[in-house]
Amino acid sequence: MKKKDGFLYILRHPNRIFTEYGLSEHEHLFKIGVTTRKVKIRLQQHNTDFTKAAGMVVQETGRLWEVQEVYSVQDVYAAEKLFWQHTHISLIPFRGGEEIWPMKPKDVENALDAVLRLSFGATKVDIQHS
């Protein structure tokens, strides 16, 4: 059986110019993910594995992803599903599990609020302790 408790994390890329992602002036590129390990380990992987989508963004821009927020959750899979269900991206068919999207910070905040309301035991944690 898979371990289910862990962290839901929000990464934000510092670059503001992503024409191929179609960013508007009010959007940022976000990476939403979950891990059952330390978030810092996952962040390092995203910033160094250039064969994956997050790493390709780093390779293209020369700038690293940054941790914006971290939430401790009892079921990483349910928390991630709740997050995406409360975004406009859930309306896009055949997303293929992609977790990097241009979004407005307010939309990310609204989805996180839903996770906190609807996910038993979800709590925001200090980034340094995750």
Q: Is the pLDDT of residue 110 over 60?
A: yes
Model pLDDT for residues 51-85, shown as the tens digit of each residue: 999 999 999 999 999 999 999 999 999 999 899 99
Q: What is the pLDDT of residue 19?
A: 54
State how far the alpha carbon of 68 is from the alpha carbons of 40, 47, 65, 79, 92, in Å: 12, 15, 9, 17, 24
Average pLDDT over the chain reads 86
Q: What is the pLDDT of residue 24?
A: 62
